Structure 1
Amino acid sequence: MNVSKVKHDYRALLKAGYAAVQYERHHKLQIHQRIRHRFEHPPSPVVNDTQINNTIEFLNTAAKRRGLEHDIVRNICSLDRYRAQYDIRPPLYNRKLTPDIRHLHDTSHDELDELIKLLNNELELCL
């Protein structure tokens, strides 16, 4: 894949992502970090043009109307923001937790990651 195609895809995803979150500061930062991470550390199966085009269309639909697509994008951004905050300082940081509660906090985002993976596979997206 040539460099100009990668730049074009990156910029198109950023533009559509920013419009999908309506240029809100915190969500804009999270969508930028998510897209940048996917381009810097690509997943093991290579992302094809169909997935990128479907993702851009999904984000443009999220920008045009406040439907399910808009809610999905905003919730992913919000949960990514909370995850970033908890990575810096987890909840109940200074307290001794039982092993069950510690395990719950450590694995709280696994279901979200699995859900995003299933959504990507079902709709051929690269969120």
Structure 2
Amino acid sequence: MATPQDLVQAYRKLLRAGLRAVQFAQPSRTTLTRQLRAGFRDPRGTFDLQRVRHTVWFLNAAAQQRGLEHRILKNLCRVHWERENEASRTPWRVRVRRMEMEEQGKGRKGKDEDVIKGTQYEHYERTVAMLNDTMGLCLR
């Protein structure tokens, strides 16, 4: 069981290493802090000191040179930022039309139901999970 001091130290180490890795640049900085906060606030989350240590090493390697680690981190931040801002880029007319269509079609299901909706990031999430498992990381 991790003590509160261990959690605070892990959070600070991850935050410092992550900010150095993204070179304090926006929007990666805010994306990184949001993901880190969400990970530490998740009640279902687990704390593994070895995974935290490996992740700090990964982030330090991303900060030192623009190699594979840097590109992985850059793409992770970009995807999370795009996912957060996806709704804001949709024109309001399209959003209103979608809401009206959902209200009209609440009672019926069938041909109009979109099977792909909600699965667009499934492959991406599995790839990140496999990367975490093979390297012993805790990236989100």
Q: TM-score range by the shorter chain?
A: 0.7 to 0.9
Taking the TM superposition and a 5 Å limit, the aligned residue runs for 1:1-127 are 1-43=2-44, 46-86=46-86, 88-89=87-88, 91=90, 94=94, 103-104=115-116, 106-127=118-139
From the CA coordinates, give the structure whose radius of gyration is larger.
2
For structure 1, the 5+ residue unaligned runs are: none
Letter in 2 for 1:64: Q
Deviations 1:63-97 (A, max 9, x none): 000000000001000000000011x346477166x
Deviations 1:76-123 (A, max 9, x none): 00000000011x346477166x969x5545321111111111110110
Letter in 2 for 1:110: E
Hey, which bits of structure 1, 4+ residues long, moved more than 3 A?
Answer: 88-93, 102-105
Equivalent in the alignment of 2:104: none
How large is the Cα RMSD of the aligned pairs?
A: 2.3
Structure holding more helix per residue: 1
Determine helix, strand or coil for the equivalent of 1:47.
Answer: coil
Aligned residues: 124
How far apart, in 2, do the equivalents of 1:103 and 1:89 lie? 23
CA apart distance, 1:47? 3.0
Letter in 2 for 1:61: A
TM-score (norm 2): 0.78
